[in-house]
């Protein structure tokens, strides 16, 4: 690096340090003023590579978006106040840094209560033996998603009509977290093609195909996903 470039880089670094130091001093000074503490004049002159700086009034607090008028406390404990002031400064700096951070992800709803899913399961089981009919949603004939829609409607919840729509409208839960009354989606290529209502562990109430009927079956594949109604 040539001497001129080195000198230029050095000056740039010094100016950056001076600006950062000034910002921190202004924050500390503003908080001290708000707390009623009169800072030492040397506070504003202790900057790297600089002589004295003009005094700054407590009006610097307005630059943070507020203006306060605080009377000086009758009793003074400078050490304790200074500690509080520094804590506030660190909190303000941390808050300013966090302002540009993305918001935390919203917590996902846990879905319906156990009582609702239990009622839906009870209504599903009450249709044991009802025949399959494509496009039917009860009360005497069903296809697979028609059965789940009908049962949850009786339990007080509205589900969309098709398997894919019900999959999109429910909350994914793990196999271990699934409970009786949750929906069981049978998957192929990452997409649901059949749905039923979970009974006891490893079992599903469903209405599978033409010529069949509503029945309780053992879940015959591991390619399933569980959904909890919202």
Does the annotation mark 194 as catalytic? yes
| Polymer length of the chain | 230
Q: In whole angstroms, give the CA distance from residue 220 to residue 131.
A: 21
Q: In whole angstroms, give the CA distance from residue 151 to residue 224.
A: 20
Determine which one of 29, 33, 206, 207 is catalytic.
206
CB atoms near residue 1 (< 10 Å): 8
Does the annotation mark 206 as catalytic? yes
Determine which one of 29, 144, 203, 207 is catalytic.
144
Does the annotation mark 213 as catalytic? no
Which 3 state secondary structure label does DSSP give 3?
Answer: helix
Determine which one of 29, 194, 203, 213 is catalytic.
194
For the beta sheet containing 171-173, the strands, ordered from the edge strand earlier in sequence to the opposite edge, are 171-173, 224-228, 183-188, 191-198, 203-206, 215-218
Q: In whole angstroms, give the CA distance from residue 222 to residue 10.
A: 65
CB atoms near residue 214 (< 10 Å): 24
- In the chain, which ranges are E strands? 171-173, 183-188, 191-198, 203-206, 215-218, 224-228
Place of tokens 């003074």: 76
Positions marked catalytic: 144, 194, 206
């Amino acid at each position: 690096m040539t001497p001129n470039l080195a000198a230029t880089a050095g000056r740039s670094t010094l100016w950056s340090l001076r600006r950062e130091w000034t910002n921190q001093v202004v924050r500390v000074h503003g908080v001290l003023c708000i707390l009623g503490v009169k800072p030492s004049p040397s506070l504003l002159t202790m900057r790297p590579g600089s002589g004295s700086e003009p005094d700054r009034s407590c009006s610097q607090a307005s630059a943070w978006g507020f203006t306060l008028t605080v009377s000086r406390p009758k009793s003074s404990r400078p050490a304790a106040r200074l500690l509080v002031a520094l804590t506030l400064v660190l909190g303000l700096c941390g808050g300013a840094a966090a302002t540009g951070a993305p918001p935390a992800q919203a917590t996902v709803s846990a879905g319906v209560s156990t009582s609702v899913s239990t009622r839906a399961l009870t209504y599903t089981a009450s249709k044991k033996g009802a025949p399959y009919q494509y496009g039917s949603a009860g009360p005497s004939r069903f296809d697979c998603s028609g059965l789940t829609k009908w049962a949850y409607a009786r339990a007080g919840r509205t589900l969309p009509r098709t398997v894919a729509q019900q999959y999109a409208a429910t909350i994914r839960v793990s196999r271990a977290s699934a409970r009786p009354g949750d929906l069981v989606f049978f998957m192929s290529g990452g997409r649901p093609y059949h749905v039923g209502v979970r009974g006891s562990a490893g079992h599903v109430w469903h209405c599978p195909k033409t010529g069949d009927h509503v029945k309780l079956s053992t879940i015959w594949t591991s390619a399933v996903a569980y959904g909890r109604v919202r």
